[in-house]
Amino acid sequence: MRDYEVVYIFKSSLTTEEIEGRLEAYHGKILAVEGSEITAVEHWGKRQLAYPIDRNDNGYYVVTQFTASPGVLPDFERVLKLDDDLLRHLVVLSEGEMPMPVMDQRGRDEDDNGNRRRGRDDSDDDEADDDADEGDDAADEADEADEADDDADEGDDTADEADDTDDDADEDDGDAKRED
């Protein structure tokens, strides 16, 4: 027997009763083999997905730990793949205690020490914003210097065009003198 952990991501439109019914069916496949047991089930609830899956931006997460023989997994995973309301699943060997997200007062994930976990939603990180602003100022100054150089080059082009016009006029004068 080995210890496993499975993470389910269901469509967020399912009710809690529908999710519980599906979990009972899945876990029935695991418990069908003698000696297998479900050791923990944690409902993490609705969370935003990192990217849309089948036009779903949110999913309902459930994490389950169980003990079973490796022979149970192929039939168990076959049942998971056939469920259209299960967006994603992942079965891995368990490495100990059940992972549990800790939510701060604003609903963000925190680690055990109370530090915010890095993720997609770090938009209010003041230090990062200040550093980015400083970099933008330097880039703006460089752009202004480039524009000044371009303006100076445009003036040279205008002078070159004037020289070309004078040369054309001289040639025309030469042609007029030969005709005489």
34-77: per-residue pLDDT in tens? Answer: 889 999 999 999 999 999 999 999 999 999 999 999 999 999 99
Looking at the fold, whether 61 and 20 belong to one and the same domain comes out as yes
Show the domain range for 87.
2-110
Looking at the fold, whether 32 and 100 belong to one and the same domain comes out as yes
CA–CA distance, 125 with 109 (Å, rounded to integer): 15
Residue 49 lies in a domain: yes
pTM for the model: 0.55
Q: pLDDT at position 173, please?
A: 55
* Cβ proximity of 11 and 59 under 8 Å: yes
- Provide the token pair at 13: 């439109």
Domain edge (last residue) among 66, 85, 110 = 110
CA–CA distance, 125 with 179 (Å, rounded to integer): 80
CA–CA distance, 153 with 66 (Å, rounded to integer): 73
Q: pLDDT at position 140, please?
A: 55
Q: pLDDT at position 156, please?
A: 53
Q: pLDDT at position 109, please?
A: 53
Beta bridge partner(s), residue 61: 9, 45
Looking at the fold, whether 67 and 135 belong to one and the same domain comes out as no
Average pLDDT, 10 consecutive residues per value, the chain (180 residues): 94 94 93 91 94 94 94 93 94 78 54 45 45 51 56 53 54 53
Looking at the fold, whether 105 and 130 belong to one and the same domain comes out as no
Looking at the fold, whether 101 and 148 belong to one and the same domain comes out as no
Number of domains in the chain: 2
Domain edge (last residue) among 66, 83, 110 = 110
CA–CA distance, 180 with 169 (Å, rounded to integer): 17
Q: pLDDT at position 94, please?
A: 87
Residue 115 lies in a domain: no
Looking at the fold, whether 96 and 7 belong to one and the same domain comes out as yes
Helical (H) or strand (E) element with 133: helix 126-179
Looking at the fold, whether 130 and 95 belong to one and the same domain comes out as no
For 66, counting Cβ atoms within 10 Å of its Cβ (0-12 exposed, 13-18 middle, 19+ buried), the class is buried
Q: pLDDT at position 53, please?
A: 93
Residue 116 lies in a domain: no
For 162, counting Cβ atoms within 10 Å of its Cβ (0-12 exposed, 13-18 middle, 19+ buried), the class is exposed
Q: pLDDT at position 121, please?
A: 42
The CATH number of whichever domain residue 34 belongs to comes to 3.30.70.60
